[in-house]
Amino acid sequence: MGLGDFFKKTFGKQACAFCGNEVGMLKRTKIKNKEFICTDCSYGCSRHIQLYRFTREELLGHMDYMKRQDRLCKEVLGNPSCSVPSAGTEQAVEFYDDFGMFCIRDMDKDRRYIKEPIRYDQVAKYEPYCDESEPDEPGKEKVFGECGVIITLVGAQDDAGELPKGVRPHPYITEELKVCLNDRDKHIGMMDVQHVIGHFNYIFGVGDDTKGLFSFGPTKQQRREGEAFKAMTGMFGAAIKAARTGEVPEDAKAQVEEAMSKVDDAATSGLAKYTRLADAAEEKVYGED
């Protein structure tokens, strides 16, 4: 390849593998197999993935997935059960507890990219971060930069031994999700950070196996385990009765499903509840395909 061909290939216009339009180097991204995707077509992809890791065929499948996610947001989810921060910031975490999902709001990128719900059971871990720099003068307080949360999905988690029970990999996202909640006020920002961490703790049942200082009776997790044991006992009792009489109760199937749900809830510290809610939400969109 001559020098002229090199510069033409590197800096000249190249055809987008999706729409066919020829675009310059500032308006395209290289993907696998020496092909390109233009900026306009890339808005049909998740903003949380690295496009260079995918082939054209893989991205076509991903774009179909994102269209269903868009429908999920518009036709099923509605308004979030809570959003942190509630308003006035570029980024936020929006929780949809009734559907077992959350979204990352980005006021800049939401204007271009499809809004993308992520299931609670795709989360491997979540942690706060606070960026600060050393002061110019000794003895002064550190200079606050920003604070927020880092959400790691199952595909980006290296140590499988640390994964919560009941989680599953995201089909495409393997990168950490960094959400800046505040870049102006550390005190207010860290309050929002703790709000997000606390909500995820609630979803994943963190602390459900401990009692408060003035709490009496079983813990929340012990109640789940008790309900699971009671449900399984009732299910086996019905099965034994059916074996003796040869008659299967009309509600046997529902009883089995309820018992298994109680067992799953106990095994996952309550996360399985949100898995069922997410499955039901996705079925409204995916079930039509």
Q: How far apart are CA 75 and CA 284, in angstroms?
A: 9
pLDDT at 233: 76
| Of 2 and 110, the one with more pLDDT | 110
Residue 224: partners with Cβ closer than 8 Å, 6 or more residues away: 208, 262, 265, 266, 269, 270
Distance, first Cα to last Cα, the chain: 47
pLDDT at 98: 97
Q: Kindly report the CA angle at 113 between 110 and 115, in degrees rounded to 5?
A: 65
Which two structure tokens, joined as six digits, stand for 121? Answer: 């059971």
- If one counts every other C-beta atom within 10 angstroms of the C-beta of residue 253, the result is 10
| Of 259 and 85, the one with more pLDDT | 85
Q: What percent of the chain has pLDDT over 70?
A: 85
Lowest mean pLDDT: which of 115-119, 185-189, 252-256, 257-261? 252-256
pLDDT at 6: 47
Residue 119: partners with Cβ closer than 8 Å, 6 or more residues away: 100, 101, 168, 170, 274, 275, 278
Q: Which residue stretches of the chain are H helix?
A: 3-11, 39-42, 56-72, 186-203, 220-245, 252-267, 271-286
| Of 208 and 253, the one with more pLDDT | 208
| Contact criterion met (CB below 8 Å) for 181 and 188 | no
Q: How far apart are CA 236 and CA 238, in angstroms?
A: 5
| One-letter amino acid for residue 68 of the chain | R
| Of 42 and 227, the one with more pLDDT | 42
Lowest mean pLDDT: which of 203-207, 214-218, 253-257? 214-218
pLDDT at 178: 95
